[in-house]
Amino acid sequence: MKKLLDRFYPPLINVYTVWILYMMFFAYNRSAAGHEEYFIRARPFESIYYLIYESGYIPYEKYKNIFGNIILFMPYGLLGILYSKLKSYKYLLPVFVVCINVLEFSQYYFGRGYAELDDVILNTLGMTIGFFIYRKLIHFKDR
C-alpha cells in the first residue's frame, strides 16, 4: 500500500488541490460581482452553531457543510509523502494551518466567500484525521 501511495499520491493530490481551489473560489455561486455579503467569522464554532441551530437548512445540508469541511481535507494529512519533513505532525500542523488561513482570507479578500475560523478548525481536523489514519495504516503494514 505504501508503494501505491508513494507512486500515485503526488499526481493525484495536485489534481485534487486544483479541484479544492475551484470549489473554494468559483463553485456555489461565488462571484466577485455578486450581491452576497462577505465577512470574517472569527469566533470559534459560530458558523457551526448557526448551521445546526439557526440556519433553517435541511439536516442534509447542515451536515454536508460540516462533514465536507472535514472529509475533503483528509488527503492533506498525507503530505509527508511529498515532503519528508511533513511526515512529522509538529511540522505538518503549522504549515497546514498557515496555508488554510491564507486560503480562507483570500476568499474574503477577493469576495469569493467568508473567512471562517470554523472552516480552519474543521479543515485542520480533517487533515489531522488523515494524518493519523495514514500513520496507523503504514505502521500496521510495517509490522
- What is the residue extent of each domain of the chain? 2-25+39-142
- Summarised one tens digit per residue, pLDDT across range 45-89 is 988 888 888 877 677 777 888 999 999 999 999 999 999 999 999
Residue 5 has pLDDT above 90, yes or no: no
SS3 content of the chain, % helix, strand, coil (to 5): 75, 5, 25
Are 126 and 73 contacting, i.e. CB atoms less than 8 angstroms apart? Answer: yes
Nearest Cα to 14, choosing from 75, 60, 61? 75
Q: Cell match 461565488: residue? A: 30
What are the beta bridge partners of residue 40? 115
Stretch 89-113: mean pLDDT: 94
pTM equals 0.87
pLDDT value of position 138: 80
Confidence band for 143, pLDDT divided at 50, 70 and 90:
very low
